[in-house]
Chain A
């Protein structure tokens, strides 16, 4: 069964450093998403991406964040200058369509620890 993959599984970085989290969505999917889950908190939407551009973003997704689809398979989330409060699980998801009934398939997540 096709699945969303994410690398690395755990990333440790120093405050102020740049990190890039990588995702390989399911191959025939067209819509891509990033979510984050701070420990003990709920899963929060960050951004959705379609046709090589951001279609929606939350208030969390400020200028420190960017997303990119550098080639036909990868989807990346970059945090330019990490802060302590960026420590969280980051989940990538993908779906065939963008409707509410289009199932979003989640990856296993990347645990980001900012020291």
Chain B
């Protein structure tokens, strides 16, 4: 079983819709959960990170972690065409030397 699984998409939704992006993971040692956004020909950009289970909101973005199910989500409200990008989930353990493990990324298209 892969450590981090993420549906590659593409996911196409109309402008204004709520977008739900998800990842599952197998390593219960993961403690920090991150979402990166990657535009075409650019490097990943950190959007949000959360620690352990719970929700975190930042503007139109909400990150949700359910450690009991090993499932994380990113919700985008009032989606805009500028949100079109690849969204990468990533996670790491508690130790400072733990490296970040990325999902494959989901390509998102917001249709105007």
Contact = CB atoms under 8 A, between A and B. Distances in A.
Interface of A: 4, 40-45, 48, 55-56, 58, 91, 93, 98-101, 103-109
B2 to A, nearest CB: 9
B37 to A, nearest CB: 11
Interface string B80-93: 00000000101011
A86 B41 CA distance: 18
Given A100-B31, A101-B32, A101-B51, A48 B43 contact: no
A91 B44 contact: yes
Contacts of B92: 100
Contact of B96 (A44, A98, A104): A98
B102 interface: yes
A109 B42 contact: yes
5 contacts: A42-B103, A58-B99, A103-B46, A105-B46, A106-B44
Contacts, number: 55
B58 interface: no
Tell me whether chain A's interface is mostly helix, strand or loop, or mixed: loop
A44 B102 contact: yes
Given A101-B51, A108-B43, 19 more contacts: A42-B4, A42-B88, A42-B102, A42-B105, A43-B44, A43-B88, A43-B90, A43-B105, A45-B101, A48-B99, A55-B97, A100-B94, A100-B96, A100-B100, A101-B32, A103-B46, A104-B46, A108-B42, A109-B43
B104 A98 contact: no
A101 B104 contact: no
A45 B43 contact: no
Contacts of A45: 99-101
A105 B101 CA distance: 15
B32 A107 contact: no
A4 B44 CA distance: 12
Given A4-B43, A91-B44, A104 B100 contact: yes
Nearest to A10: B41
Query: What 8 pairs between A and B have smallest CB-CB spacing?
Result: A106-B43, A100-B32, A43-B102, A42-B104, A45-B99, A100-B92, A42-B102, A106-B44
